[in-house]
Structure 1
Amino acid sequence: MSYLKSVLKLGAYMKRSILGAMVMLLAATGTIVAQQQPQFSHYGFNGMFLNPAYAGIKGQGEVLTIVREQYFNYGGTFDPGGNDRTFLLSASTPVRVLGGGVGVNIYRNTIGEASVTTAALSYSKHFKIGDGLLGIGAQGIFNNLGKGTYRANDADDPSVPFESSDSKIDAGAGVWYEAPKFYVGLSVNNLLRSRYQFQTESSQRTASYIGENHAYLTAGYNIEVSSSVVVTPMVIGKLVLPGEFGDDDKFTFDNNSFEVGARATLQEKYWAGVGYRYGESFTGQLGMSFAESNSFRVGYAFDLVAFNQDARAFSSHEIMLSYRLPKMGPATRPAIRTPRYSF
């Protein structure tokens, strides 16, 4: 009985904590400066990218793809164009025999002369707590970073990369709690904070780059406005963590990103949402589900870049497509009773 009381208290505490997380993220300030990870306006649907503990937590398999054009048509100082392009494919499924779920993320991000290709394999162990599931996840990550041609101020500068790439293995971890009314997750990636080495124009591998580790804190709460309308307030914080590498001023709130938004869903089929990314943009979303059990989802997000436009373009665009497999049934089929053998 004492264990049951502890579990119920923890569930109630987590419900209060999600509201506290929203308040803290709203109160925090900062814009994205030194972040190396791609960002998505569909973060409310994209838990597998954010957190390895999300794998299988919904009780059904999911496949999701996102294409994002950030700062569309931005030219800047890059010869081939500088806007940020990201292609993401993620999938996850519960695995009953493992007591949790597995998931995978593959994405490619290009901006100017730089490119990042990442593949991550995740495992989440699930624990029943209160009305929901607590996932504790671990992640193995493969990163390949490529650098193109840069115009150095000083010829043969040994710190400027030239047409080369480097690959490293890294790791991540996270926790995620999923309940009928709310969810909250915290994760950290690139725990090894690997140093990537690149060849310079003089054919020496003296150019280096640190793969900073990032933390994601995200939360959402489902509010039933009526029998057919659910409103979901959401928040997300993306932080570059402090450490021994890099400049001291890299680890400030100026290098973090905070977003708040809300999505209204009609009859579990249609949705629309708005959001605000601190110091950068306002976001709008539209989407719908279709097919049997609303298994397919398609969504579009538009970012209106309203602040600091000197180094950004007017807008960003994002398209999401996902498919949810049917939920897993019981492990054994129930017995079938007939009058034929009733004596």
Structure 2
Amino acid sequence: MRTINYRYYLVFLFVLTLLTGEINAQQEPMFTQYMFNTLSINPAIAGTKKSINANSLSRFQWVGMEGSPKTFSVGLHSPVNNRKIGVGLTILSDKIGPVTNTHISLNYAYRLIITEDLTLSMGIKGGISSYYAGLSHLDVIDNEDPQFIDNEKKLSPNLGFGFYLYHERFYVGFAVPKLLETSIDEEYAESFTDLKRHYYIHAGYTMQLSSEWVFKPSLLTKAVSGSPTSNDITLQFLYNNKIWIGGMYRLGDAAGLFVDVAINRQLMLGYGYDFSLNSMMGANSGSHELMIIYEFDIRRKSIPLF
């Protein structure tokens, strides 16, 4: 008995995301603690921390569902020369069922000092993206089915750009992390196998409530052709420059909480949890995130607010 063509299996995955209103949004990984991982979407962030910054985020989405998304992100960036230039490296792996997308990018940013307190950073990124479908590892009825004997692999180049305007009290950025649109399967070009171009806007503001408490609301908007705009609204509170407590609401889709702790001036650890508010509610036990940030320059006063 023949099993279905693997393309229909991929269609199933995309229909699943369509039912949750995320058919194109899920092409790009989502993070509850996105404000600590903005280099992955905006190359203009490179070097803005004034130290060597390393960060890692692991996300386990829709826990309890077979083949649910698992995302791992690593970033490293630093200023160079006169600190007007920043460079960075990002590695991101996103696995959904038998399909794994891996992106490796080099980031370059140049900062223009507008005023003593206001800076505009302009960044570009270039790299390579890898698509892999482990079809031979699927549990199928007919192990001899030629559609499942060979795994699918594809490499494609990637370019991106971004802008980041920041001040001690606020920031706003715009980015297109993957400028080149890619069709995974040429036979189904211009269909569900197309990886679409995404547009991001992110912004935040810092308000000093007292000598111990800081409040920072932030927003992440993601737009892609053929899909509703995704908006993440986050409210964060920082206590004594050491403990972050925050909540996130993704309009019509999910809500979550996170806690981040600055162990010392160099190390920050974080955990986030979010749950579905759409048709996926009840079908899984939520999504979990683990975060690590390490600052190599101990001369900084504290881990930065942005």
When normalised by structure 1's length, the TM-score is 0.73
2:74 maps to which residue?
A: 89
SS in 1 for 2:47: coil
1:167 maps to which residue?
A: 155
1:133 maps to which residue?
A: 119
- Structure 1 segment 238-317 matched on structure 2, within 5 A: 238-240=222-224, 242=225, 251-253=226-228, 256-291=229-264, 294-309=265-280, 313-317=284-288
Shift of 1:194: 2.5
SS in 1 for 2:211: coil
- Structure 1 segment 108-127 matched on structure 2, within 5 A: 108-127=93-112
* The structure with more helix, counted as a fraction of residues: 1
Shift of 1:222: 0.4
Shift of 1:163: 1.8
Shift of 1:310: 6.4
Pick closer, same or farther for the CA change 1:288–1:328 going to 2, 3 Å. Answer: closer
String of CA shifts for 1:78-102, please: whole Å, max 9, x gaps. xxx2210011110110112573100
The reply to whether residue 233 of structure 1 matches residue 217 of structure 2 is yes
SS in 2 for 1:309: coil
Q: Distance in 2 between matches of 1:121 and 1:136?
A: 14
The reply to whether residue 51 of structure 1 matches residue 42 of structure 2 is yes
Shift of 1:31: 4.5
2:165 maps to which residue?
A: 177
Pick closer, same or farther for the CA change 1:57–1:272 going to 2, 3 Å. Answer: same
When normalised by structure 2's length, the TM-score is 0.81
Pick closer, same or farther for the CA change 1:62–1:134 going to 2, 3 Å. Answer: same
Pick closer, same or farther for the CA change 1:263–1:141 going to 2, 3 Å. Answer: same
Shift of 1:309: 1.6
How big is the alpha-carbon RMSD for the aligned residues of Structure 1 and Structure 2? Answer: 2.7
Pick closer, same or farther for the CA change 1:116–1:311 going to 2, 3 Å. Answer: farther
Unaligned runs of 5+ in 1: 1-29, 75-80, 198-204, 243-250, 330-343
String of CA shifts for 1:52-86, please: whole Å, max 9, x gaps. 00001122221000110000111xxxxxx221001
The reply to whether residue 60 of structure 1 matches residue 26 of structure 2 is no
SS in 1 for 2:134: strand
> How many residue pairs get matched?
271
String of CA shifts for 1:186-208, please: whole Å, max 9, x gaps. 100221213334xxxxxxx7465
2:205 to 216, 221, 243: 221
Rg (Cα) greater in structure: 1
Pick closer, same or farther for the CA change 1:56–1:148 going to 2, 3 Å. Answer: same
Identity across the alignment (%): 26
